């Protein structure tokens, strides 16, 4: 619901406090309704805030500064992005403890929780959040991020040792003293992940800039002049299975999660794909007394009708939900490339991001500020069964860290060809791969390869989806809320035995059966499909021409990173492949063969998203080098 930013100097007054205005304005899309600034009494802490009003519609409520223990002597200042869904229960608790409420907003409970429990305050919060607070009495800077990383938070250090943070790197980059050198390892990891798991992104601890880092999901941190002291406060509860009535439990928890995430004061939209997950959310929302003017939105592409919209219409008609469907032309898609790069502060891995932006724009244009989406359902309910390497394909690659590393290394040998020798001397793919496996595979408490791969997807792929949705939605001043990432629901979902979720080759059986009574049979039986991509030949031709144009116009700085010879050959191969497909399948959907997912164990063949990834990487490098 907001954009937050700030500057901290632990030794003297902030050197350039007026910069907070530019930093905050860089996040105006995240908070168009109001702005606020806090400067500590000694001038060493400056916070900036942009607000999108959803809860507590008073547009003046931006930065919160609350007297310490309500005695009026010291204050705790906080900048907060997100929602606390158990804030009512917490407010009642703190009122009994003698705390005096000064705001209807949900985030004052964070300040009370800090005063009551210190750094362990996050253990008591249920929601999607990122925040930074300053305690004037203890002089402590404390920050935290929600359990799965729905809300982003980046930070860095200036050349003068000032600590700077923001919801997006673009805010930090506006501070005059920040180092803007790109992070070479993150660039390499972007292409490696995109060519391995169809999820091109950087580490959960990094950005595409060397001196700008992410606060990882499920982490809290104290910040002082010596650095950022990170502590993990939560990890996915994988390993324990419940053989009991999981269907009843899941139904109860998801119903409550949807109820919690429906705003009280503004109407809600649903990102409705016509698939199982979003249809369940739409059906539950429709049945809630809190639902106001419910809207559903489903993207499609001109000249390339997709099954998603067809199924979305079935659900919308059954439950009498207004359905809007932005229909995007190939030309309109190409025009969104710069917007996608800007929103992510870096290269973009998938053409599906274009459709995502169009969908959120339509929701915004219809006058909606909040939307519920189905991300998280697949990761916690074995929804990737059709592509899960440990379930159907490439079991040998995923049975151990050693075999998984071997698979990554094989892909790295291909990805290395994209880069110059000069660039490769600056990075180590072995170190990148080791870090990926250690953080996302070996940390799993279970030794079962299936559960380890589920852990991998829940950690890495979900973060990729959450980042994309946050940036795309907030670039249009819309907040995306995720019912499937409620912590109680996650715990219950991960406890479901595999044999209860995979039945007769179909994934997410628990969800199907739990909500069978409110779903149309066409959706109940529908198998998992990805977010739709434009498969038309017209779009692929445009993409091919744009790729060739980008290569031609790229400057010397780009070719210090990327191999011009290899990338140019990639462009020629893509052009030839499109000609072949058009001859074979005609002018309509032949491009779909290039947008299909590539099994992990299969040797690399050219794909649309790979071309798009390199195209956006070239354009981004041209802007930042």
Same domain? 61 vs 88: yes
Q: Is residue 188 part of a domain?
A: no
pLDDT in tens, 463-510: 999 999 999 999 999 999 999 999 999 999 999 998 898 888 778 999
Tokens in use for 342? 């800007």
Same domain? 36 vs 116: yes
User: pLDDT higher for 535 or 518?
Assistant: 518
**Distance, CA of 325 to CA of 563 (rounded, Å):** 40
Same domain? 217 vs 276: no
pLDDT in tens, 319-345: 999 999 888 999 999 999 999 999 999
Comparing CA positions, the residue from 144, 228, 125, 146 lying closest to residue 463 is 146
Tell me the DSSP string of 368-416: --EEE--TTHHHHTTTTTTT-TTTTS-HHHHSSHHHHHHHHHHHHHHHG
Q: What is the pLDDT, as a whole number, of residue 532?
A: 66
Residues paired with 32 in a beta bridge = 51
Same domain? 225 vs 330: no
Q: What is the pLDDT, as a whole number, of residue 498?
A: 87
Q: Which residue has the tokens 């204050």?
A: 75
Q: Is residue 225 part of a domain?
A: yes
Q: What is the pLDDT, as a whole number, of residue 390?
A: 43
Tokens in use for 451? 């559960």
Same domain? 286 vs 209: no
Q: Is residue 194 part of a domain?
A: no
**Distance, CA of 138 to CA of 342 (rounded, Å):** 38
Q: Which residue has the tokens 């947008």?
A: 595
Residues paired with 408 in a beta bridge = none
pLDDT in tens, 416-466: 999 999 999 999 999 999 999 999 999 998 888 888 888 988 999 899 999
Q: What is the pLDDT, as a whole number, of residue 395?
A: 57
pLDDT band at 114; cut points 50, 70, 90? very high
Residues paired with 157 in a beta bridge = 163
Mean pLDDT throughout 160-167?
97
| CATH number of the domain within which 42 lies | 3.60.20.10
Tokens in use for 346? 């870096």
Q: Is residue 625 part of a domain?
A: no
Q: What is the pLDDT, as a whole number, of residue 431?
A: 97
Q: What is the pLDDT, as a whole number, of residue 385?
A: 58
Q: Is residue 569 part of a domain?
A: no
Last residue of a domain, one of 524, 551, 567: 524
Same domain? 286 vs 167: no
Express as a percent the part of the chain with pLDDT over 70: 90
pLDDT band at 598; cut points 50, 70, 90? very low
Q: Is the pLDDT of residue 589 over 90?
A: no
pLDDT in tens, 190-227: 999 988 876 777 888 899 999 999 999 999 999 999 99
pLDDT band at 599; cut points 50, 70, 90? very low
Q: Is the pLDDT of residue 533 over 60?
A: yes
Q: What is the pLDDT, as a whole number, of residue 63?
A: 66
Q: Ranked by mean pLDDT, which of 375-389, 436-450, 578-592 comes out on top?
A: 436-450
Tell me if residue 130 falls in helix, strand or coil. strand
Tell me the DSSP string of 342-374: HHHTS----THHHHHHHHHHHHHHTT--EEE--
| CATH number of the domain within which 379 lies | 3.40.50.620
Same domain? 372 vs 478: yes
Q: What is the pLDDT, as a whole number, of residue 142?
A: 98
Q: Is residue 416 part of a domain?
A: no
Same domain? 101 vs 164: yes
Same domain? 209 vs 353: no
Q: Which helix (H) or strand (E) holds 268?
A: strand 268-271
Q: Is residue 545 part of a domain?
A: no
For the ranges 443-447, 527-531, 590-594, which has the lowest average pLDDT? 590-594
Last residue of a domain, one of 524, 547, 573: 524
Q: Is the pLDDT of residue 128 over 80?
A: yes
Tokens in use for 586? 């005609």
pLDDT band at 396; cut points 50, 70, 90? low
pLDDT band at 592; cut points 50, 70, 90? low
Q: What is the pLDDT, as a whole number, of residue 527?
A: 77
State the angle between helix axes of 184-196 and 608-624 in degrees (0 to 180), rounded to the nearest 10.
Answer: 170
The Cβ-side half-sphere exposure at 432, using a 13 Å CA radius, reads: 26
- Averaged pLDDT score across all residues of the chain: 89
Same domain? 140 vs 278: no
Same domain? 343 vs 223: no
Q: Is the pLDDT of residue 384 over 80?
A: no
Last residue of a domain, one of 475, 500, 524: 524
Question: What is the tally of structural domains in the chain?
Answer: 2
**Distance, CA of 241 to CA of 171 (rounded, Å):** 43
Domain that holds residue 94: 2-181+204-232
Q: Is residue 7 part of a domain?
A: yes
Sign of CA pseudo-dihedral 353, 212, 177, 424 = negative
For the ranges 35-44, 398-407, 551-560, which has the lowest average pLDDT? 398-407
Same domain? 253 vs 216: no
Express as a percent the part of the chain with pLDDT over 90: 68
């Amino acid at each position: 619901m907001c954009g937050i930013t700030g500057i901290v100097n632990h030794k003297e007054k902030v050197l350039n406090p007026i910069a907070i205005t530019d930093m905050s304005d860089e996040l105006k899309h995240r908070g168009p309704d109001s702005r606020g600034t806090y400067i500590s009494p000694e001038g060493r802490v400056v916070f900036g805030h942009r607000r999108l009003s959803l809860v507590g519609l008073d547009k003046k409520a931006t930065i919160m500064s609350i007297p310490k223990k309500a005695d009026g002597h010291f204050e705790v200042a906080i900048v907060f992005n997100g929602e606390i869904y158990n804030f009512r229960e917490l407010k009642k608790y703190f009122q009994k403890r003698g705390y005096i409420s000064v705001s209807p907003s949900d985030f004052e409970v964070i300040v009370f929780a800090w005063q009551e429990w210190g750094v362990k305050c996050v253990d008591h919060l249920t929601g999607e959040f990122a925040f930074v607070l300053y305690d004037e009495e203890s002089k402590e800077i404390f920050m935290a991020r929600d359990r799965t990383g729905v809300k982003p938070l980046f930070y860095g250090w200036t050349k003068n040792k000032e600590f700077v943070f923001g919801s997006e790197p673009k805010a930090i980059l506006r501070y005059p003293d920040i180092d803007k050198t790109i992070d070479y390892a993150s660039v390499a990891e972007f292409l490696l992940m995109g060519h391995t798991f169809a999820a091109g992104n950087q580490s959960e601890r990094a950005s595409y800039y060397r001196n700008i880092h992410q606060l990882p999901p499920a982490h809290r941190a104290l910040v002082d002049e010596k650095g950022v002291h990170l502590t993990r406060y939560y990890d996915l509860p994988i390993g324990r299975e419940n053989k009991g009535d999981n269907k009843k439990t899941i139904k109860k928890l998801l119903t409550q999660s949807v109820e919690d995430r429906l705003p009280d004061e503004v109407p809600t939209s649903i990102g409705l794909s016509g698939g199982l997950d979003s249809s369940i959310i739409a059906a539950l929302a429709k049945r809630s007394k809190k639902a106001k003017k419910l809207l559903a939105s489903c993207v499609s592409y001109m000249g390339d009708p997709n099954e998603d919209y067809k199924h979305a219409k079935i659900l919308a008609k059954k439950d009498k939900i207004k359905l809007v469907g932005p229909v995007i032309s190939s030309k309109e898609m190409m025009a969104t490339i710069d917007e996608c790069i800007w929103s992510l502060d870096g290269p973009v891995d998938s053409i599906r991001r274009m459709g995502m932006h169009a969908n959120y724009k339509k929701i915004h244009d219809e006058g909606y500020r909040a939307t519920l989406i189905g991300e998280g359902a697949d990761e916690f309910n074995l929804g990737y069964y059709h592509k899960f390497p440990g379930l159907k394909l490439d079991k040998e690659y995923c049975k151990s860290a050693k075999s998984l590393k071997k698979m990554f290394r094989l892909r790295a040998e291909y990805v290395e060809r994209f880069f110059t020798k000069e660039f490769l001397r600056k990075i180590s793919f072995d170190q990148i791969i080791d870090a990926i496996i250690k953080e996302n595979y070996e940390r799993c408490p279970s030794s079962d390869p299936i559960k380890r791969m589920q852990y991998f997807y829940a950690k890495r792929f979900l973060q990729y989806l959450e980042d994309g949705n946050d940036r795309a939605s907030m670039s249009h001043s819309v907040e995306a809320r995720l019912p499937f990432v409620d912590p109680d629901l996650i715990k219950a979902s991960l406890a479901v035995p595999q044999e209860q979720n995979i039945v007769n080759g179909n994934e997410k059986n628990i969800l199907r059966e739990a909500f069978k009574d409110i779903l149309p049979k066409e959706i109940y039986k529908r198998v998992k499909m990805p977010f739709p991509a434009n498969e038309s030949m017209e779009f692929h031709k445009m993409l091919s021409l744009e790729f060739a144009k980008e290569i031609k116009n790229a400057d010397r700085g780009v070719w210090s990173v990327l191999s011009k010879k290899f990338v140019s050959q990639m462009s020629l191969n893509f052009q030839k492949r499109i000609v072949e497909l058009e001859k074979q399948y005609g002018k309509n959907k032949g491009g779909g063969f290039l947008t299909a997912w590539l099994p992990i164990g299969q040797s690399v063949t050219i794909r649309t998203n790979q071309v798009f990834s390199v195209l956006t990487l070239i354009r981004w490098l041209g802007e930042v080098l």
